[in-house]
Amino acid sequence: MTSPVWKIHRNGLFWLLVAFAAVIVLHADHLPSWILLAASVATIWRIQLYRSAWRPPSRLIKTGLLGLCLAGLVVEYGSPVGLEPMVALLVSAYLLKLLEMHHRRDAYLVIFLAFFITALDALFDQSIGNTLYIIGCLSLVLAALLGLHSTDADGGQLRPLGKAMAIMAQALPLMLLLFIFMPRLGALWSVPMQQQSAKTGVTDTMSPGDFSRLGRSGELAFRVSFEGAIPAQQNLYWRGLVLAEFDGRTWSRSSLSPFQDSNLVQWYGEPPKSWDQLIERKGEPLTFSVVIEPTQQRWLYALDTPKPDSEGVGLTRDYRLISAYPLRSKKQYRVNSWPEHRLEPQGLPPQHRKVYLQLPEEFNPRTRELASRWRKTVSDDLELVSRVLTLYNSEFVYTLQPPLLGKHSVDEFLFDSQRGFCEHFAGSFVFFMRAAGIPARVVAGYQGGERHPDDYLVVRQYDAHAWAEIWLEGRGWVRVDPTAVVAPQRIEQDLQSVLGSETDFLADSPVSLVRFRHIGWLNQLRLQIDSLNYNWALWVLGYDQIQTAFLRNLLGDNSLWRIALALTGVGGSLLLLLGFWILLPRHRERSRDLLDREFLRLCQKLEKAGFPRQVGEGPRDYAQRVAESRPELARQLVEVTRMYEAMRYAGETPDARTLARTIRSLRINRSG
């Protein structure tokens, strides 16, 4: 029934463009800037099209624009696989389609694209603020859809938004119901991930300067809730990666097959692998659960020595935790950790020993020479370790702004600059140990964290840390943190207590509230916001895990048919209620109330004149009684009463205004 030449009307276009702007702004932080420019051009063009000031783009121009967008995407991203290119492609389609709305179905396409693009933003950011913004965007897009179908009446510009909000509000209970009851399936197939990894974060290689860069960022890494007290600050070593291979400059994960994650992983729920016996766990474990921000990587962080307590998490051969899938969004996992433990105290397998002693030949001759010299003078390994740590303690400076190092980075650091961040200390220490024949490895992760008053721990990027582990006969793997020797406050308190005055600290987070920790009320605010965000994350993320248990409690057992029954039962009654509310005319009630109000006004008027209404006296009797003593009012009183009764009880169309006017015209003088 649509006419062949369809033209969007003003209100419809208004909401379409508002929604368009909101969706573009929503994605602005991960869209190339030229798309934002193109979006503004498209908006202006669209408005000019509506005003018939400009002509619609010709086929040639459209093809050109499409080509330009595609070329821009290729230049920007290179590969089309990935979340950002996908979103950017959809956004380009969205803004090009905006210029090409010849039929109502084109407008539908634009709006449905807007819905989809809005939903995709939830993959990038799931904070409470962004969630609210997404909901706002959805309301605007819904208003745009409504605008297409409402009429273009003047004064009705805001009506679509109001109606959209009402529909959203009415949809909310049903949405919660679906959210609670709908079973979650695991990933059906692998999907493109975000290409740019998070701006900051621990990576699986360590070169000088990597960790000092993290010191510049106050971004959240993860939050931890302990069941029980939070351990002492100096024991919070969040182990994430083991870096065993050194190429002279960069430490990286071993490329040898026993150390690849795909091998030798003991997943949660699997029977223990043979190497599980090499771990001696003693005492009571610590239990904690971690909510980690998306890293696009698989490794997870935990205290020594961990055992996973969540589906999809595994323990690797070098005693780290990994996730079954890269962390594309926030993830929550539970861990049991035994702080008292011994790892492989009986001996290292020869091929492991070889890996943990590997060093490139042509680098750092001075360190090698010193190591072999000291080796000869000490009686056991521990003495050598303490001698090296003493060396660090005497001369070295801990700083976020270490000088650049040349080819023999360890030599230059140990003998010349003697200024460095944790990676310099950990790297040189492990190098020294290996040169002296002690198996050693670099461990990367986080150290410490901020205690939130609500009893959880917040670990930020500037808590990133690197330390060393050495293997000692009879004791197994032992953690040694050379940084703790140089800057003990770093371990006992946090980075800010050591480097807070350095200009580079938090340099990448200029407006981070962490910066203003010393201002009391601002700090309070910051902690409250964090608490809110954490609880939100727990609620949204934790649902997967608690859904099963919750449904079992609620329904007795969570078989599919029970879920379906509950869903249709509760959902059906919800809809029935909503249906009554929407479909039944309520306005009669309201107009009835208005009539009663007018009648009461009449009663007050008469009461003032000395004729109070008696209890249980009907309107007609009342009027008659008054009329007998005031015959001059009789005609008007009878008329008003008749009108009221007819409208109120006899089903005549209620018209409170006329009634009010008649009552107002009633002039009653006080009876003498």
Partner 1 sequence: MISPFRQFFQHLYARWLGHRLPPARQIKLNTRSLFIFPSKAGFSFLLLVVLCWLVATNYENNLVFGITCLLTAIFVVAILHSFANLSGLNISCSRVSPGHAGHPLTIELVLQQSGKRLRENLILAFAGHEPVAIDIAATEEARVKLGFVPASRGLIDPGRLCVESLYPLGLFRVWTQVDLNIRCLVYPSPQTVLNRRTTASSMDADEGLMVQILEGGEDFTGLSDYRPGDSPKRIAWKQFAREQGLYTKHYGSAQDERLWLDWDAFPGLDTEARLSRLCGLLLSIVPLDVPYGLKLPGLTIAPNTTDSHRLQVLRELALFGLSDRGGER
The correct pick among 189, 377, 556, 631 for binding partner 1 (CB under 8 A) is 189
Residue 178 binding partner 1, by CB under 8 A: yes
The correct pick among 18, 47, 120, 264 for binding partner 1 (CB under 8 A) is 120
**8 A C-beta contact, residue 231 and residue 339:** yes
In 412-559, alpha helices (H): 422-435, 482-486, 488-492, 495-499, 520-555
CB-nearer residue toward partner 1: 41 or 172: 172
CB-nearer residue toward partner 1: 360 or 572: 572
Residues 6+ apart with CB under 8 A from 72: 32, 34, 35, 92
**8 A C-beta contact, residue 382 and residue 482:** no
CB-nearer residue toward partner 1: 572 or 618: 572
Site for partner 1 in 556-575 (CB under 8 A): 575
Q: 479-493: buried (b, 16+ CB within 10 Å) or exposed (e) per residue?
A: ebbbbbbbbeebbee
The correct pick among 36, 97, 100, 116 for binding partner 1 (CB under 8 A) is 116
CB-nearer residue toward partner 1: 184 or 518: 184
Residue 5 binding partner 1, by CB under 8 A: no
Task: Please choose, out of 92-100, 166-174, 197-205, 338-346, the segment that lies near partner 1 by the rule CB under 8 A.
Answer: 166-174
**8 A C-beta contact, residue 310 and residue 268:** yes
**For the window 271-310, what string marks contact with partner 1 as x by the rule CB under 8 A?**
----------------------------------------
The closest alpha carbon to 90, from 106, 105, 107, 70, belongs to 70
Q: Quote the CA–CA distance of 79 and 196 in Å, as a whole number.
A: 12
Q: Quote the CA–CA distance of 362 and 141 in Å, as a whole number.
A: 63
**What are the residues facing 224 on neighbouring strands?**
290, 457
**Cα separations in angstroms, 59 against 44, 63, 89, 90:** 19, 6, 20, 20
Which tokens is 345 given? 């105290």
Q: What does DSSP say about strands 440-447 and 419-420: parallel, antiparallel, or unpaired?
A: unpaired
Q: Quote the CA–CA distance of 559 and 583 in Å, as a whole number.
A: 35
The correct pick among 22, 49, 101, 148 for binding partner 1 (CB under 8 A) is 148
Residue 175 binding partner 1, by CB under 8 A: yes
Residue 134 binding partner 1, by CB under 8 A: yes
Residue 650 binding partner 1, by CB under 8 A: no
Site for partner 1 in 578-597 (CB under 8 A): 578-579, 582-583, 585-588, 591
Task: Please choose, out of 173-181, 436-444, 493-501, 600-608, the segment that lies near partner 1 by the rule CB under 8 A.
Answer: 173-181
Residue 171 binding partner 1, by CB under 8 A: yes
Residue 146 binding partner 1, by CB under 8 A: yes
3-state SS class at 441: strand
Residue 118 CB, nearest approach to partner 1 (Å) = 8
CB-nearer residue toward partner 1: 55 or 588: 588
281, amino acid identity: R
In degrees, rounded to 5, the angle at the alpha carbon of residue 284 between the alpha carbons of residues 316 and 318 is: 15
Task: Please choose, out of 121-129, 203-211, 599-607, 635-643, the segment that lies near partner 1 by the rule CB under 8 A.
Answer: 121-129
Tell how far CA 180 is from the center of its chain: 19
**What are the residues facing 266 on neighbouring strands?**
315
Residue 69 CB, nearest approach to partner 1 (Å) = 21
Exposed, middle or buried, 614 (CB in 10 Å: 0-12/13-18/19+)? exposed
**What are the residues facing 599 on neighbouring strands?**
none
Taking each helix axis from N to C end, the angle separating 520-555 and 560-583, rounded to the nearest 10 degrees, works out to 110
The number of residues that bind partner 1 (CB under 8 A) is 64
Which tokens is 445 given? 């992760």
Site for partner 1 in 88-107 (CB under 8 A): 104-105
Task: Please choose, out of 455-463, 484-492, 507-515, 538-546, the segment that lies near partner 1 by the rule CB under 8 A.
Answer: 538-546
Residue 587 CB, nearest approach to partner 1 (Å) = 4
Task: Please choose, out of 180-188, 212-220, 409-417, 433-441, the segment that lies near partner 1 by the rule CB under 8 A.
Answer: 180-188
Residue 373 CB, nearest approach to partner 1 (Å) = 55
Residue 565 CB, nearest approach to partner 1 (Å) = 18
* DSSP per-residue letters across 30-55: GS-HHHHHHHHHHHHHHHHHHTTSSP
The correct pick among 41, 74, 75, 191 for binding partner 1 (CB under 8 A) is 191
**Cα separations in angstroms, 591 against 89, 374, 601, 644:** 54, 98, 15, 12
The correct pick among 472, 543, 605, 638 for binding partner 1 (CB under 8 A) is 543
CB-nearer residue toward partner 1: 70 or 112: 112
Residue 21 CB, nearest approach to partner 1 (Å) = 20
**For the window 320-339, what string marks contact with partner 1 as x by the rule CB under 8 A?**
-----x--xx----------
Instruction: Report, as residue numbers or ranges, the catalytic residues.
Output: 422, 465, 481
The closest alpha carbon to 255, from 361, 363, 359, 355, belongs to 355
CB-nearer residue toward partner 1: 60 or 583: 583
Task: Please choose, out of 112-120, 279-287, 362-370, 415-423, the segment that lies near partner 1 by the rule CB under 8 A.
Answer: 112-120
Residues 6+ apart with CB under 8 A from 267: 308, 312, 313, 314, 324
The correct pick among 76, 544, 617, 645 for binding partner 1 (CB under 8 A) is 544
Residue 546 binding partner 1, by CB under 8 A: no
CB-nearer residue toward partner 1: 130 or 417: 130
Q: Quote the CA–CA distance of 540 and 547 in Å, as a whole number.
A: 11
CB-nearer residue toward partner 1: 191 or 600: 191
The closest alpha carbon to 232, from 42, 591, 491, belongs to 491
Task: Please choose, out of 181-189, 359-367, 428-436, 470-478, the segment that lies near partner 1 by the rule CB under 8 A.
Answer: 181-189
Residue 168 binding partner 1, by CB under 8 A: yes
Q: What is the DSSP code (8-state) at residue 455? A: T
The correct pick among 507, 513, 541, 555 for binding partner 1 (CB under 8 A) is 541
Q: Quote the CA–CA distance of 375 and 438 in Å, as a whole number.
A: 10
Task: Please choose, out of 130-138, 233-241, 251-259, 480-488, the segment that lies near partner 1 by the rule CB under 8 A.
Answer: 130-138
Binding region for partner 1 (CB under 8 A): 1, 104-105, 108-109, 112, 115-116, 118-120, 122-123, 126, 131, 134, 138, 142, 145-146, 148-151, 153, 163, 167-168, 170-176, 178-179, 182, 184-191, 325, 328-329, 540-541, 543-544, 575, 578-579, 582-583, 585-588, 591, 653
